[in-house]
Amino acid sequence: MKEEQQPLHHHHHHQRRVTTKKLTKPTAYVILLLLSYALGYLSAPSFNSANPSSPRIPQATTITSATKSEFDQFRVTAQCADPVPSKLVRQTILDRLFNGTSPFDDFPPAHVSSLLRPKRIKGWGSNGAVFENLIRKVKPRTIIEVGTFLGASAIHMAELTRSLGLKTQILCLDDFRGWPGFRDRFRDIAMVNGDVMLLYQFMQNVVHVNMTEWVLPVPFSSGSGLVKLCEWGVLGDLIEVDAGHDFHSAWSDISRAYRILRPGGVIFGHDYFTAADNKGVRRAVDLFAKLNGLRVQLDGQHWVIDSA
């Protein structure tokens, strides 16, 4: 009760003394570290929208060895199994997930056939030049797409690889649940007992363009799916990461996806430039690249990291 009767300025002065006493050296170090990172990031030059073809991306402050140690707890360190030969990737997925048979056999099942549109292909940035540029460069035998939705970019990549005479298997890792509220924008995607027909419509799209030999769904969350691909030794020559766009989701997906990238392969993704790019994808990409000594390049709205 006495403290409440003290003058306001005296109360604040007292609070400052208490706070100062409670600050330990480790706490002060962490605060200084975070402040340094924030100031370095904010002082970095912003992206010049008038010159989107700039080959380099503004980066945050230099990552020191001390900073790296702070992030060690966030690293994904588990070792993957020996790589499965590219020619066996498709059968490995069929055996592991679909009892050895194609999920496209006898598709669609009778109870959903009337709920599907013949074609409902929708995506964002799914036909950018980056896809052809990277496919021509890498000539991938295995492409892994993390975040698929209705399959627009996967189908585009399948068409590109087929036109270039490549024997490429595309694995589409997605839980095919959309996101909370996505049916407000896609009411034509049916729902049965709470189950959205997103996986079935994706598969219908693949059937429509006759790409069932090129494209396979891996219908699990990006986190669990990437872990299993690692355990099974299923690696990608080209990996697209375009699932969750918040920092934590993007960081997790990029870290796990890079683990299953074949030596000399390329990992890339969309939405590097958004209204919240410093809080989501861009922040995760920049930090991952710096911590691993990698270089980030631009191709339109896509970020690209070449492991070569």
Q: What tens digit of pLDDT does each residue of 1-55 get?
A: 443 444 444 444 444 444 444 445 555 554 554 544 444 444 343 333 334 444 4
Residue 280 reports pLDDT greater than 60: yes
The reported pLDDT for the residue numbered 75 is 54
Q: Band of the pLDDT at 299, cuts 50, 70, 90?
A: very high
Residue 98 reports pLDDT greater than 70: yes
pLDDT for 166-201, tens place per residue? Answer: 999 999 999 999 888 877 888 889 889 988 999 999
pLDDT for 112-136, tens place per residue? Answer: 999 999 999 886 767 889 999 999 9
- DSSP notation for the chain: -HHHHS-HHHHHHHHHHHHHHH--HHHHHHHHHHHHHHHHHHHSPPP-TT-TT-SS----SPPPHHHHHHHGGG---PPPPPPPPGGGHHHHHHHHHSTTS-TTTTPSPHHHHTTS-S-----SSTT-HHHHHHHHHH--SEEEEE--TT-HHHHHHHHHHHHTT---EEEEE--S---TTGGGT-TTS-EETTEESHHHHHHHHHHHTT-TTTEEEE-S-HHHHHHHHHHHT--EEEEEE-S--BHHHHHHHHHHHHHTEEEEEEEEES-SSSTTTTTBHHHHHHHHHHHTT--EEEETTEEEEE--
User: Lowest-pLDDT range, 55-69, 136-150, 272-286?
Assistant: 55-69
Global confidence as pTM = 0.77
The reported pLDDT for the residue numbered 151 is 95
- pLDDT: which is higher, 287 or 38: 287
Topology annotation, domain 80-306: Rossmann fold (3.40.50)
Residue 161 reports pLDDT greater than 60: yes
Kindly list the domain boundaries of the chain, sorted by start residue: 2-43+52-71, 80-306
- pLDDT: which is higher, 126 or 299: 299
- pLDDT: which is higher, 245 or 262: 262
The reported pLDDT for the residue numbered 62 is 53
